Structure 1
Amino acid sequence: MTFALRARLGAWQERWIEKNPSFYRQVVLVGLPVAFQQAINIGVNLMDTVMVGALGENALSASSLANQYYYLYYILCLGISGGACVLSAQYCGAGNKAMVRQVWRLSMYIAGGSAILFAVVTGTLPHAIMGVYTTQPEMIELGSQYLRVTAWIFFFHGTSLIMVNLLRTVGVLYLGLIVSSLSFFTNIFFNYVFIFGKFGAPRLGIAGAAVGTLISRGLEFAITFGYLLGVQKYIAFRPKDFAGKLDPAMMRSFLTTGMPPIISDGMYTVGDNILSVILGHMGAAVVSGQAITLATMRFCTAFLMGLSNASSVMIGQAVGRGEQAAVQRQSRTFFLLSVVGGLAGGVLIELASPFVVGLYDLSPEAMDATMQMMHAMSLLMVFQAAQSVMSKGVLRGGGDTRFLMAADLIFMWGLNIPLGYLAGLHWGWAPFWVFICLKLDTICKTFLCLWRMVCSHWIRDVNQTI
């Protein structure tokens, strides 16, 4: 190797690879609990699909479509926590605890209000909601049974989910893992009891899965807010902090930096639900295949969720401390880690797909559709990983939320939806190619986010607005 080449390689490593061991220790400390928590949450969903799948293909498809609707609220909560966590992490990095409490209060207002709205709509219009996703009467009726119980879950799940994520920005790293672990066993036990009518309980079928989820989410809520109000000392958030005047400077920061993730994730999830509508009109076999594929993908790539969360928290805190050089170098390292993780995840999905499909009692048509989607997902995984870590982690943690909102909306509504509609309902393409069309935004956003990161115009310090 020539001297010039060695010098060039050394310069590249200096810009792209963080050499401080404490950085990687922090990635593990922040990311590993999230990864395990995500694996547990997906394990719960996977067990739900396996148990409900025992009731038949229509029940599996109906619960999948009903959960797509619930996923709307779930992603909205991730958007709320995503925007709030940017502010919370940066204020925490600057040592401004009063502003952290302000952010948490506003987040609970938004979460509680949206939960009440979703609960009212879900409880009063379950058949209309299911009618959007499918025209098959049996699936509409089964899904409506599920949604009637789901209406009671929104408040417990949304507020506890957001608060666990906010607590992580101030160093409470393992609460989410503990809560999810207890929820996992609680959910499986009560699913078994109420789906199949065990230990003298009524046999509720598909609605029993929702009852099990309701009980487990109630437990999550009790533990999370018990810890927040009775144990957590650093921020000293108390019941009186739920009320009071909101700081104008924090509100300005939230509107400019925290609101775009809510709009972005909300509208993106509406688009994602439209994609589910497209698949729902392709038949129960395709819907079942999508449900199994997405559950497998999320389980096999749980560590990427941890990496994304770690990057958001760590980048946000570094921006709050004013460490610009470290922010640039660490952001590039996170990108490289996401590519490696995506490649590993794709291989894992490809190897696991025959075993996973074998867990279900599927028709030959549904089995073929599922395997096609599994193959498509394994090919797309590196792009899924890179754009997720960059958009939901690095760039969002740096405060570049308005740019990300524009990218999400343009690619979902301008590319995925029209192309997926044509491929699935007009051109009659195979599930493999339809799934590729529905995920094309992951490829585009990977290159766009990489360009944005290298251009270095994405760092927005919210403390400068105070």
Structure 2
Amino acid sequence: MKLSFLFEDKTFFKTMFKLAIPIALQNLILSSLNLVDSIIIGGLGDSAIASVGLANQYFFLFNLLLFGITSGSAIFTAQFWGKRDIPNIRRVLGICLVTGGTAAILFTIGGLFFPEQFIGFFSKDAVVIHMGGQYLRIIVLSYLATSITFSYSFILRSTGQVKVPMFVSVIALGINTFLNYSLVYGYFGFPKLEVKGSAIATVIARLIEVTLLLIIVYSQKLAVAARLSELFDLSKSFVYRFFKITIPVILNESMWALGVSMYAFVYGHMGTDVVASTNISGTIEKIAWVIFLGFGNACAVMIGNKIGEHDEEAAYTYAKRFMILGPAFAMLAGILVFLSSDFILSAYKISPTVRYYSHRNLMVFSFFLWVKVFNYISIVGILRSGGDTKFCLLLDMSGVWLIGVPLVAFGGLVLKLPVYWVYVLVYMEEVFKFTIGIPRILSKKWINHLSLSTE
């Protein structure tokens, strides 16, 4: 394959970077502040890190359910934007808000009334369960605001408006870090609330975030600045067609999230040191991952727009470029993680055992990152943008439940391998999806034109 295939189209790169960089920056800020938050919590000890990490498994489930709803919506939005079909974009936003809001309310109720039971599923440490329950009972109050922010942000991105969500996140997450530091330790006249203070800081930041986002959207009259009558101008056929495509995405993210939670279950039964190490290494991994979230989102928007314009050949060409560029950048990122992980871990006040485990976990991550990136771009960026959601569901479910979960449970609970070797078994899921995903993309069977009737 000639290098000119990758670099000859300047418009491709201009569009890609215009979309990818703001999304990557937004996620970099989010992950960096999460790193700072985890360091702040780390000052309270290994049990505090483990308790907050396990409580955030609940948000992880909710977050991926929201991601399924909003990314399913974005499949339609990207193609509609290619045709500049604003009315249908606003109808999709309406369904997204109702579905996401319903999920948020259900998760909020669960977190309010059964927090200790959830934490207890992952750990038998009484201190971890108590602290995690305190944290979870408070932070679920932010979930409804989070669902609204997700809905507007994802659909804004699909219309090319990537700077607004980034701007809002920068402000909100900056506030979160300041309040986190102040409320955990009682600085600047604030009460010392420890892990509860971290949860309160997040709730306040999320409320500010959604308020600021809505003010900007409606004051600037952006494409998603819909009236209630436009949001809910829905017919049965419209809703049916929408969920026919998006339910596989929602199931995909939900079932994958449950599978990943089973990994957390295994870690939880391997000990508090293991849980603390996976939470620390996971936070650092998210920083390395941010650029590829930008790549994946840019890929989905660009390919979706081209399919909406009925330019299938350009959509396929874009797919091949992303398949090469994403893993290439991931290899470079993996080298950086490998070289810098020991230095980053020096900022944590943790036991030598947790530090050792965290370092080895990051070594494994750096080696397999390129495969993980390829799969993310393939599933979220390419196949879903063409509406091939059922295949994505089957691919992800097979990887997690037939490969990942059995191997991790066997390695962690039966063979009692060190956590970093269990990490290797986690990535066998990615190797499986890599081998199955390539032929599907090359077949072009994933390219579908989506339409929603309003009759």
Task: Report the TM range for the smaller structure's normalisation.
Answer: over 0.9
- Say yes or no: does 1:321 pair with 2:303: no
Q: What is the Cα deviation at residue 245 of structure 1?
A: 4.0
**Which residue is 2:259 aligned to?**
271
- Equivalent residue, structure 1, for 2:226: 237
Q: How does 1:108-147 map to 2 (within 5 A)?
A: 108-147=97-136
Superposed, 1:299-338 pairs within 5 Å as 299-338=287-326
Distance 1:293 1:200 in 2: 33
Q: Work out whether 1:166 is the aligned partner of 2:155.
A: yes
Q: Distance in 1 between matches of 2:432 and 2:261?
A: 20
Q: Find 2:389's aligned residue among 401, 410, 422.
A: 401
Structure 2: state its 5+ residue gaps.
none
2:277 is equivalent to residue 284 of structure 1? no
Q: CA RMSD, aligned part only?
A: 1.5
CA deviation map 1:414-439 (0-9, x unaligned)? 11111100100110112221001122
Among candidates 169, 180, 202, match of residue 169 of structure 2: 180
Distance 1:369 1:309, change over 3 A: same
- Give me the whole-angstrom Cα distance separating, in 2, the residues matched to 1:159 and 1:55: 32
Whether 1:35 and 2:24 are equivalent positions in the alignment is yes
SS in 1 for 2:313: helix
1:82 aligned to which of 71, 74, 95: 71
Q: Give deviations 1:363-384, integer Å, cap 9, x for gaps.
A: 1211121111111111111101
SS at match of 2:20: helix
What is the deviation of 1:18? 6.2
Amino acid at match of 1:299: I
Q: Which amino acid in 2 is paired with 1:418?
A: P
Mapped to 1, the partners of 2:289 and 2:332 lie a distance apart of 9
Task: Give the deviation of 1:236 after TM superposition.
Answer: 4.4
Q: CA deviation at 1:464?
A: 7.9
Counterpart-to-counterpart distance in 2, 1:158 and 1:48: 22
SS in 1 for 2:61: helix
How far apart, CA to CA, are the structure 2 residues paired with 1:151 and 1:324?
43
Q: Are the counterparts in 1 of residues 87 and 230 from structure 2 also a CA contact under 8 Å?
A: no
SS at the partner of 2:451? helix
* Counterpart-to-counterpart distance in 2, 1:465 and 1:19: 39
Query: Residues of 2 paired with 1:328 and 1:122: CA distance?
Result: 43
Shift of 1:344: 1.2
Greater alpha carbon shift after TM alignment, 226-235 vs 348-357: 226-235
Match of 2:377 in 1: 389
Residue matched to 1:52: 41
Structure 1 CA distance for aligned equivalents of residues 8 and 237 of structure 2: 37
CA deviation after TM superposition for structure 1 residue 241, in Å: 3.1
Matched, 1:378 2:366: yes
- 8 Å Cα contact 1:77/1:161 also seen in 2: yes
Residue among 343, 366, 383 paired with 2:331: 343
In 2, Cα distance between equivalents of 1:236 and 1:423 = 51
SS of equivalent residue, structure 1 residue 463 = coil
Normalised by the size of structure 1, how large is the TM-score? 0.94
Aligned residues: 454
- Could you say which residue in structure 2 is the equivalent of 1:435? 423
For residues 173 and 250 of structure 1, what CA distance do their matches in structure 2 show? Answer: 27
TM-score, normalization: structure 2? Answer: 0.97
% identical equivalent positions: 25
- CA distance in structure 2 between the aligned counterparts of 1:135 and 1:332, rounded to whole angstroms: 47
State the shift of 1:256 in Å.
2.3
Residue 294 (structure 1) shift: 1.4
Cα distance in structure 1, aligned partners of 2:14 and 2:436: 29
How far apart, in 2, do the equivalents of 1:60 and 1:233 lie? Answer: 40
